[in-house]
Amino acid sequence: MAMSMSKISECDVTNCSYNVDKKCHTLGITVGDQSCARCDTYFDSGTKGGDLEVSGGVGACKTADCKFNTAFECSALAIKVGRHSGHADCETYTPR
C-alpha cells in the first residue's frame, strides 16, 4: 500500500519564510539531523516564500529513532512544528 505524505497541521515558528498564519506553505520539509527532530527546511530570509495554495507536508524524516519513522518516511497523520532551543523542531517526534 502506498504511503501518503504526512501533513503539517501547525507551525509555531512564525519567522520561517514558509510560515504564513502558523501554516507551512512549502511542498515538503525534511525533518531530522544528528541531534534532534529539527526542521531542516526552516530558514528566515525576511521574505515570505512558498505557495499559499499548498499545505506543507513531510517529504523525508532522518530521525531514525522516532516511532513514526518508517524507512525514513513519516507515518504520522499530521505533525506540529515548534521552536526548540533557537530552531524549528517536529513536536510530534516520539522516541521508539
In a domain, 79, yes or no: yes
Greater confidence, 86 or 94? 94
Instruction: Give the pLDDT of residue 5.
Output: 93
- Is residue 95 in a domain? no
* Position 11 in a domain: yes
Radius of gyration of the chain (CA): 12
Question: pTM of the prediction?
Answer: 0.92
Q: Is residue 33's pLDDT more than 80?
A: no
Evaluate if residue 1 carries a pLDDT over 90.
no
- Asked whether the predicted pLDDT for residue 26 surpasses 90, the reply is yes
Which cell numbers in the block locate residue 34?
544528528
Q: Is residue 34 part of a domain?
A: yes
- Residue 51 forms part of a structural domain: yes
Residue 2 forms part of a structural domain: no
Q: Across residues 56-73, what is the average pLDDT?
A: 95
Residue 19 within any structural domain of the chain: yes
Domain count, the chain: 1
User: Can you name the residues that pair with 73 across neighbouring β-strands?
Assistant: 70
Q: Is residue 46 part of a domain?
A: yes
Mean pLDDT of 29-55: 92
Domain that holds residue 63: 7-90
